[in-house]
Amino acid sequence: MVNGGSFGEAIVYRLTMHEDVGLVTPVDVTGDFHFEAAFNVLPVTFPFDSTVSLPPPGTCTAYTEQGDMLRGMLLPGSLLSAAELSIGPPFVLKGPNGTVNLDYPVSSYRAGPLGGLISNNILASTLYLSPGSYTMTSSGGTDVGPFSAAFNIPQPLTWNNRNALDIVDRTQPLTISWTGADSGAEIAVVGVGEDLPTNSSAVFKCVAAPGASSVTVPPDLLANLPATRSNLLQSKDIIYLVDLAGTSLTKLNAKGLDQGSTGYFYINGKTVVLQ
């Protein structure tokens, strides 16, 4: 994005949350989602977008912001000088569980759910994104032409110490470890702390070094997150392990795009108490 240009992305992802803070019975909530967008980015002197400008592998960064980041609020510096491009009717996704139109009936963005699951027999599974081969197809729009791109969804990684993570001491290093990551994937640990009475949020992002199977978050990064209130309903505190696309990432070749990609992300979250 340094020199500007047109960029597009068509991503599917799974978000799994293990919630056990403030609940009588722990619950696992899993959702499958899609997101599509294309923008013409204007060149600027110092291009930066906190959503895609991740810290270098093996390092961390942190942000603070007024408001509730977990309610879809953008991070500081997330607004690029960009104009949205027309990409046409809803894309079509074909995979092991059938063919679906990537509709977005209740969103002004090209995003929406593909299925979900809540544990404890609360909701029957409608999950769609199983491991296997997929094809994303578009008939094209005014600005971006048609395309067909194939990608694979690998077996998900395993967060080794997720369910044992309950209380996070912000004065001590926090180590997150995993096994089974997709070859070439970029792994990140993201922590979000929100203090609702003061309407304030903080987040850190740590990107794993290539080939690593763990990330250790230093105390100076954890210290940015506010401590959990004694009334647990006044705080929102979550640690995420994010598996960004590795071998599943495929170039999206369409007329009108300088660069495009499609693929799969996996986000695994756990509620915690910050001390």
The secondary element (H helix, E strand) that includes residue 264 is strand 259-271
> What are φ and ψ of residue 249, in 5° steps?
-70, 125
What is the DSSP code string of 63-85?
A: EEEES-GGGTPPPTT---SEEEP
| pLDDT tens figures, 164-177 | 899 999 999 999 99
- Copy the structure tokens of residue 24: 């009588």
Task: Give the confidence band of 113 by pLDDT, cuts at 50, 70, 90.
Answer: very high
Please tell me the total number of residues recorded for the chain in this structure. 275
Task: Give the confidence band of 45 by pLDDT, cuts at 50, 70, 90.
Answer: confident
| pLDDT tens figures, 54-79 | 899 999 999 888 888 777 655 666 55
Counted domains in the chain: 1
Range with the poorest average pLDDT among 123-127, 217-221, 252-256: 123-127
Of the candidates 106, 91, 11, the residue with the CA atom closest to the CA atom of residue 51: 11
Q: Please tell me the distance from the alpha carbon of residue 60 to that of residue 37, in angstroms, as a whole number.
A: 27
The parent domain of residue 171 ranges over 5-274
pLDDT at 264: 92
Q: Please tell me the distance from the alpha carbon of residue 213 to that of residue 144, in angstroms, as a whole number.
A: 39
Q: What is the mean pLDDT of residues 208-213?
A: 92
Q: What is the mean pLDDT of the chain?
A: 89
Q: pTM score, two decimals?
A: 0.91
- Give the CA diameter of the chain: 55
Q: Please tell me the distance from the alpha carbon of residue 138 to that of residue 132, in angstroms, as a whole number.
A: 20
